Amino acid sequence: MSMLPEIQTNSQLITLLAAGMLVVQLLMVGQRQLQANIRLFAVQALLLAGIAAANGFFHHAPHIYVMAALTVAGKVLFLPWFLQRMVRQIRIDQELHPWINRPTSMLLCGGLTLLGYLVARPFAVAASGANTFGVAIALVLIGFFLLINRRRAITQVLALLCAENGLFLAAISLTAHGMPLMVELGIFFDIFIAVMVLGILIYRIRATFASIDVDRLNRLRG
């Protein structure tokens, strides 16, 4: 019985931090400034690291601390610095008009959030973090929506990273100890290398075509 308040505190804290991640994701949907989007991503990654650290503390899983530390070092510090440096180099600081306008995008993202919770309902008994899992599914869906809706290549990279944050959150919410450490490390470094390669490609595309608008690049297909 003495463990029950501790479990409830853990669940409430993780749910609160996960809700913060969702709010940040929705702010990114309505934000067009690239620098602001990068800072919002860093805040979301920091909240994710907090969830991982809290989960590792309450469930006595030291390997989750490793992922929390890597998340802070890679997604809170290094990747935002790298992307902000790239934005300054390409001298483009604002997103073009997305395919879908802001009010409609927010409405669609609200629907995707509801869909995430509906998908998570069957896990309500099997997993104690069913609410967090619903947020995780919503983050993945909204991340893919951003990937499709945005025109700038750099914001599409951010969308991919946000979707990966949702996958990491899903792994934490479904199991007490998360995925095995080697699997988590493999996924983390795959995403990390992919972003570095995409960053170099974005810089080269900007230098060659004087634009990183993917709509213009699509017109080059013959």
Average pLDDT over residues 4-30: 81
Nearest to 27 by CA among 84, 19, 179: 19
Summarize pLDDT for 60-103 with one digit per residue, the tens. Answer: 777 778 888 888 988 899 888 888 887 787 777 666 567 788 88
- Measured CA to CA, the distance from residue 11 to residue 135 in angstroms comes to 13
State residue 1's pLDDT score.
43
What pLDDT band is residue 21 in, cutting at 50, 70 and 90?
A: very high
CA angle 19, 109, 120 (to 5 degrees): 55
State residue 125's pLDDT score.
46
Please state which of the ranges 76-80, 153-157, 168-172 shows the lowest mean pLDDT.
153-157
Question: What pTM, to 2 d.p., does this model score?
Answer: 0.78
Nearest to 24 by CA among 40, 6, 46: 40
Cα Rg, the chain, nearest whole Å:
18
- Measured CA to CA, the distance from residue 24 to residue 18 in angstroms comes to 10
- Max avg pLDDT among 42-51, 71-80, 166-175, 210-219: 42-51
Above pLDDT 90, what percent of the chain?
A: 16
Phi and psi, residue 80, nearest 5°: -60, -40
List the domain boundaries for the chain: 3-217
Average pLDDT over residues 136-153: 86
- Measured CA to CA, the distance from residue 157 to residue 133 in angstroms comes to 23
